[in-house]
Amino acid sequence: MSETTAPVGSGSTRSTATAGARSGRARGALLALRTGQVLLALFYGIASALPKLIGHPSAVESFDRIGWGSGAMYTIGALELAGAAALLVPLLQSVAAIALSALMVGAFIVQVTVFDGQNAATPLILIAPLALIAWTRRAHNEDLLRLLRRQ
């Protein structure tokens, strides 16, 4: 029997369909990951960094309550904005996710110690997708190291 007349249930047809479904699932997973990265970048850039960088009264009040003042507020806002931008650069995605996770660990500690745990879950929730991005995009770390070693 030739390949063109092979029965529909043959092994070769099933393996081809399975491989196509896998690549479709992989594309879907990559699209979901990229969408998550864009959403996190928007969140960090607009909802988190912007109020700090423009000195919004709510951000100023929070940093005054912590006792860190405006210098720390602007610094953390700048770090969040840099992390947001780096989440969109393929070579920096993993490093950005790790750095933003470290900021979220600090935010969690501050939430628990200064604000009595009011919003302590928020940084923990944000760490989960950041960890996924850091792990999934970890191959870019080697490329980044190679690039840095050349200079």
pLDDT in tens, 36-72: 999 999 999 999 999 999 999 999 999 999 999 999 9
Q: How far apart are CA 28 and CA 131, in angstroms?
A: 19
Q: How do residues 6-43 score in pLDDT, each as one tens digit?
A: 444 444 444 455 555 568 888 999 999 999 999 999 99
Q: What are phi and psi of 97, to 5 degrees?
A: -65, -40
Q: How far apart are CA 19 and CA 24, in angstroms?
A: 9
Mean pLDDT of the chain: 88
Residue 78: CB atoms within 10 A of its CB come to 13
**DSSP 8-state class, residue 9:** T
Whole-model pTM: value is: 0.81
3-state secondary structure 41-81: HHHHHHHHHHHHHCCCHHHHHHHHHHCCHHHHHHHHHHHHH
